[in-house]
Amino acid sequence: MSATPSQVVDQFLGAVTGASIPECSVWAQDAVLDATVPNWRFRVVGPDAIRAEYRGWFADPGELDELERHPVPGGEVVRYLLRCTEDGVPHVAHHVHVLEIGDGLVRRDTVVCGGRWPQSLQDEMAEAQAAADAAVDAS
């Protein structure tokens, strides 16, 4: 019996947070990763190519904040903020995955990534958000 879409996503997210993408086996042989990243879009096909790409994205163990999972016919839409530490520096990344799942495997992962932000950039974004919030409160 094949895994349910929810179980497949559980395995994928476990590999993301556990930095265990090389051992992850959720992708079909003809699976497609269609990725939009800051200022670029690309596509790779097949589990080896997907693992090779994601090995760099998810190289460090992390935690998922703001996790949302929305089952849809034939898959799941997943949104999260990934927190990890890279070379001693805290980082976050914001991702949305539209996962098409069939026969217990990911057939297509359309992912949008806002980039990976080191602590210094997170601090800058927090300051900008505080200023924007203060302006709204003042009006």
So what's the pLDDT on residue 65? 96
- Using DSSP, state whether 28 is helix, strand or coil: strand
* Residue stretches of the chain with pLDDT short of 50: none
Note the pTM of the prediction, 2 decimals.
Answer: 0.89
| Closest residue by Cα to residue 75 from 25, 26, 122, 9 | 9
pLDDT digits (tens, 9 = 90+) for 77-107: 999 999 999 999 999 999 999 999 999 999 9
C-alpha–C-alpha distance, residues 18 and 136, integer Å = 40
DSSP per-residue codes, 81-138: EEEEEETTEEEEEEEEEEEEEETTEEEEEEEEEEEEEEHHHHHHHHHHHHHHHHHHHH
Task: Give the pLDDT score at 18.
Answer: 97
